[in-house]
Amino acid sequence: MTTVQASTAVLGHPAPRRLGRFFSGGVALDRSLPSTLLFGVTALLLATGTLPVMDGELVLAGLTAAFVASLVSRLAGRASLTGDVGVVVPLVQLGAAGLLSAGTATPAVLVLALAPALTLVAGPGRRGVLLAALGTAAVLLLPDLLGSGSSPAEALFLAPLAVGLGGLGVNETTRRIGSQATRIERLEAERDQLLAQVQSRADELDLATRMLAARAQTMTSVIDAVTEQSIIGTDVDGIIRVWNPGAEKMLGLPRPDVVRRRSILEFHLPEELEAAGDDAEATPGLAALVRAAQEQGSDVRDWTYVAADGQQRTVAVAITPRTDDEGRHAGWNFVGTDMTEARATERMKDQFVSLISHELRTPLTSILGYLELVLDDDDQPLTDEQRSYLTTVERNADRLLRLVGDLLFTAQVDAGRFTLTPADVDLATVVRAAEESVRVTAANASVEVVVDVPSDGLVVPGDAVRLGQACDNLVSNAVKFTPAGGRVTLSLRSAWQTPDGEIVAEPCPDAAQVAQLAVSDTGIGIPTTEQGKMFSRFFRASTAQKNAVPGVGLGLAITKAITTAHGGTLDLLSAEGAGTTFTLTLPL
Amino acid sequence: MDVTGLRVLVADDEDDIRALVALAVRKAGCTVVDSVADGSAALDLLRVELPDLAVLDVSMPGATGLEVCAALRADPATAGIRILLLSAGASLDDVAAGLAAGADAYLAKPFSISGLVHQVHALTARQPA
C-alpha cells in the first residue's frame, strides 16, 4: 500500500501539466510578458535620451499602444480571457513597435516586433503566421506611410517572408509539442485513473484481508476459549491440524506436540475402532471412525479416548467432515465432551434403581406370600374381622408393589431401556379386562362403568402387558376421580387419521386406520391451566389434591410413554367439575 | 394330578422366602429334601440328592441360580432335574437369561403361592427330559 501511494505522488507531479497548458494554445497572453519588458526598456531609453525622439506624437502613440496591450494582457490573464484577445495583444504590440520605430527613426527599435511576432506564430492554427507576416510588413511600411523615413524595399519583402516561413516552422513545432503535451496530459489522466483504480482495489483487498484476519482471530479465540470440550481438526488422513485447550486438558498433550505430528487414531482404542470397522478391513483406522459421519453428514456417539498418561475417558464425539474454501473435502472435525463421570452416574442410577427394585420386591414377596397363606388356610379359618384387616394389609402391599413397578418402569423409560414385546393385541379384550379389574372398586364407590367395544374385537400390533397397563391406568384414574353416582364410559372404535392428524369416522384418501379408545368420566375434571402438565412425572392436578384422591402422579406419565412407544397419541379433554375424557389413539 | 412324594430342593438366600417356598411346595404335596441359602451348597446337594425339581433363586451367594442351572444341565447325571427359577428381576432380559441358562420355568417375585403351586404341579407332571 505504501509503495503504491509513494509512486502516485512521484508520477503525479504537477509540473508537466503546466507545460501542457502553455503549449496547448488559447491562453497565449502570458507570453506577452517579454514584449512588455522590452517596451518598458525602450520607454526607459527614450526617457534617458539614449533613443532620439524624432516625432513625439508617434512615440507617444507607440508607448500608449504598448501600455494598453500590456494592460489588456494582464487583465486578460487574470480574467482568463481567451480567443481573439490572444491575437489582438501581439498585433497591437507590433503596431506599437512600428510607431516607436517611426517616431524615433531608428530601425533597431523594430527588434521590439520580434517578440509579438513570435507570440503570434506560436498561437494555434496558421492564422497567427499570416498575421505575423502581414504585421511585420505593416510595421516596416509604417515609417514610409508616416513619412518619417523609409525601409529598403528588400527589407519590406524579405522580412515578412522570413517571418512567414520561420513562423510556419515555429507554428508547426508548437503545434506538435502542443499535441504531444495534450497526449501526455491524456495519458497522465488515464494513468491517474488507473492509479486510483489500483488504489481502490488495494484498499478493498486490504479491507478483505483485515476482515479475514479478524474472522480467523474470532474463530481462533472462540476455539481457544473452549476448555471443557475437545475440538480436534484433522486432514483427510487423520493427521491433527487443530488442537484446542479442551483437547490439551482432556488428553494431556500441548498443541506443539500434536499438531502435524500425530494422528487422531493414536488417541483411540484400537479394539473399539476394530469393532466399528468393516470385517473386510485388514486394519482398523480412520475409515471406521468416520464411516457414520461420511454416510450421514455427521455422527455423535461415545468413543473411548486414551490420554497421554494412558487414562481412558468416555467421550461423546461429534464428527463432521470439513471442506476447504472451494468446497473440497479437507478433513474431519472431532468435537468431544467428556462423559466419563456422566456415564458412571447413569450406570450408578441404573444400578440403584434395580437394587431398590430388588430390595423392595424381596420383602414384598414375603409379605404377600405369607398373607396369602394365612388368608387361604382352610385348616385355620379367620374371623371376618381378621380377614378384613388382612385384606387391607394385602391391598396396601399390592399398592406398594405397583409403585415399585411404576418407578422401575419410569427409570427404564428414562434410560431408554424400555422395550416392547410386539404381538397382535385385541384391544376389546384389554378394555374388558380393565373394566373387570376396577369392577369391585367402582361398585364400592357407586360409580357406573359402561363398556362399549366392538363385539368382534379390534386388533392392534403392540405389547399386550404394556397396553393393558396403559388401559388400567386410564380406567382406574377415571373411577378414582369420579364421585359417587357418576359414570365412566370406555368406548373403543376404529377410525381413520388424515395426514394432518385429524381423526375421521369414515375412510378417506391418504388416511391411516387407527384404533381409538376413549375413557370418559363425569368426575371432578382438570383445571385448564394444568392440563398441559398432566403427563409430567409426579404432577398431580390441584383438583386431585383438593379432593384427597390418593396417587403419586406416575400413572399418566407411564401411559403416555407406553402410547408413544406404540407410535400412538394420548389426548385429554376436560372441564373442571364436568368430567374428563382421555383418548388413546393407536395405529392399526 | 398326584405329585405326592416328588422330591424338591429349595435354594434362596432370603430365609423368609426360602421358608415360604418350602411351605408352598409342601402345600403342593411334594417333599422338600433340603433348603439352602447358598448357590454352591445347592449345587453340591443337588448332585447328591438328585431331586425331581430344583427351585432356585437367581441372586445367591456362592453361585447364582443361573450358574447352578448351567452346571446342572452340563452334567448328564443332573441334566434331568427340572428347574424353576425365582427372581426379583422381572424384565424380559432376566426371563430370557433364565431360560437360556436351561431353566424349565421362570417366576418373578413377588409371586402368588397359588401361582407357585401351579408351576410346581405343571413341572413335576412333565416327564423328565
ipTM summary value: 0.85
- pLDDT band at B126; cut points 50, 70, 90: low
Q: Is the pLDDT of residue A518 over 60?
A: yes
Query: How many A×B Cβ pairs under 8 Å?
Result: 52
pLDDT > 80? residue A116: yes
Taking CB atoms and an 8 Å limit, are A365 and B59 in contact across chains?
Answer: no
* B14 contacts in chain A (CB < 8 Å): 362, 365-366
| Contact status, residue A580 vs residue A481, Cβ threshold 8 Å | yes
pLDDT of residue A101: 81
User: Which has more pLDDT, A188 or A402?
Assistant: A188
DSSP string, A456-470: T--EEEE-HHHHHHH
CB contact under 8 A, A369 and B113: yes
Strand order across the beta sheet in which A229-235 lies:
A240-243, A229-235, A329-338, A312-323, A299-306
pLDDT at A121: 82
pLDDT band at A349 (very low <50, low <70, confident <90, very high): confident
**Residue A280 pLDDT level (bands cut at 50, 70, 90):** low
Test A358 with B89 for CB contact under 8 angstroms. yes
Q: How far is A414 from chain B (nearest CA, A)?
A: 15
Q: How far is CA B5 from CA A60, B28, B29, B32, in A?
A: 171, 10, 7, 9
Q: Is the pLDDT of residue A25 over 50?
A: no
B15 contact A CB<8A: no
What DSSP line would sit under A131-162, residue for residue? HHHHHHHHHHHHHHHHTS----HHHHHHHHHH
Q: Looking at the partner chain, which of A357, A370, A373 has a beta carbon nearest the beta carbon of B88?
A: A357
Q: Quick one: average pLDDT of A294-309?
A: 91
**A357 touching B (Cβ < 8 Å):** yes
For an interface test with A, give the residue of B113, B117, B119 to mutate (most A CBs within 10 A): B113
Nearest alpha-carbon partner for A365 in B8, B42, B107: B107
pLDDT band at residue A368, thresholds of 50, 70 and 90? Answer: very high
- Closest-CA residue of A relative to B107 is A365
Closest in B23, B24, B110 to A368, CB measured: B110
A368 vs B: CB within 8 A: yes
Torsion of CA A286, A292, A297, A303, to 10 degrees: -70
Question: Chain A residues with CB inside 8 Å of B65's CB?
Answer: none
pLDDT digits (tens, 9 = 90+) for A476-510: 999 999 999 999 999 999 988 888 778 888 877 78
Band the pLDDT of A148: cuts 50, 70, 90.
low
Contact A421 B24 (CB under 8 A): no
Residue count of chain B, please give it: 129
The reply to whether residue A361 touches residue B59, judged by beta carbons under 8 angstroms, is no
B16 contacts A366? CB cut-off 8 A: yes
* A22 pLDDT tier (thresholds 50, 70, 90): very low
Residue A81 has pLDDT above 70, yes or no: no
Q: Would the pLDDT of A385 be above 90?
A: yes
Q: Is the pLDDT assigned to residue A45 strictly greater than 50?
A: yes
pLDDT at A315 over 70: yes
Answer yes or no: is pLDDT of A141 > 90.
no
Residue B94 at interface with chain A, using a CB cutoff of 8 Å: no
CA A262 to chain CA centroid, Å, is 33
For position A317, what pLDDT does the model report?
94
Contacts of B59 in chain A (CB under 8 A): 358
Taking an 8 Å cut-off on Cβ atoms, the answer to whether A361 and B110 are in contact is yes
- Choose from B13, B15, B16 for mutation: most chain A CBs within 10 A: B16
Q: Is A505 helix (H, G, I), strand (E, B) or coil?
A: coil
Domains of chain B: 7-125 (3.40.50.2300)
Using a CB–CB cutoff of 8 Å, tell me whether A396 touches chain B: no
> Which residues of B are less than 8 Å from A400 in CB distance?
none
B74 contacts chain A (CB < 8 A): no
Direct distance between the N- and C-terminal alpha carbons of chain A, in angstroms, rounded to an integer: 75
Q: Do A362 and B89 touch (CB under 8 A)?
A: no
Q: For A225-228, which contacts have Cβ atoms below 8 Å and span 24 or more sequence positions?
A: A228/A337, A228/A338
Please check the confidence at residue A2 and state whether its pLDDT lies above 80. Answer: no
Which grid cell is A231?
A: 475440538
Query: What tens digit of pLDDT does each residue of A212-238 get?
Result: 999 989 988 888 888 899 999 999 999
What pLDDT is attached to residue A211? 93
Question: Does the pLDDT value for residue A472 go beyond 50?
Answer: yes
Nearest-neighbour CA in chain A from B110: distance (Å): 4
Global pTM reads 0.53
Chain B touched by A420 (CB under 8 Å): no
Cβ of residue A220 closer than 8 Å to a chain B Cβ = no
B92:A421 CB<8 A: yes
Residues of chain B found within 8 Å of residue A365, distances taken between Cβ atoms? 14, 17, 20, 88, 109-111
Q: Could you list the beta-strand ranges (E) of A307-378.
A: 312-323, 329-338
Single out the residue of B69, B92, B95 nearest to residue B82, CA to CA: B69
**Element (DSSP H or E) covering residue A582:** strand A579-587
pLDDT value, residue A84:
67
A368 CB neighbours in chain B (<8 A) are: 110, 112
CB contact under 8 A, B110 and A369: yes
Among A155-169, A174-188, A197-211, the least confident range: A155-169
Amino acid letter, B68: V
Tell me whether A421 touches chain B (CB under 8 Å). Answer: yes
Q: CB-based contact (8 Å) between A401 and chain B?
A: yes
Nearest CA-CA distance, residue A475 and chain B, Å: 24
pLDDT of residue A508: 79
> B6: Cβ–Cβ under 8 A, 6 or more apart, which residues?
B29, B30, B31, B52, B53, B124
Q: Is A351 on the interface with B (CB under 8 A)?
A: no
Segments of A498-578 assigned E as strands: 503-504, 512-521, 569-575
Chain A contact present for B61, CB below 8 A: no
In angstroms, the separation between the Cα of residue B73 and the nearest Cα of chain A is: 27
Q: How far is A554 from chain B (nearest CA, A)?
A: 19
Contact A372 B113 (CB under 8 A): yes
Any idea which of A58-72, A200-214, A241-255 has the lowest mean pLDDT?
A58-72
Nearest by CB to residue B110, choosing from A373, A376, A401, is A401
- Give the containing element (helix H, strand E) for A281: none
**Contact assignment for A369 to B92 by CB distance below 8 Å:** no
Phi, psi (5° rounding) for residue A273?
A: -65, -40
User: Which residues does residue A554 pair with via DSSP β-bridges, in sequence order?
Assistant: none
Mean pLDDT (chain A, rounded): 84
The pLDDT score that the predictor gives to residue B4 is 66
Q: Is B85 on the interface with A (CB under 8 A)?
A: no
The larger pLDDT score, comparing residue A310 to residue A350, is at A310
pLDDT at A436 over 50: yes
pLDDT over threshold 60, residue A78 = no
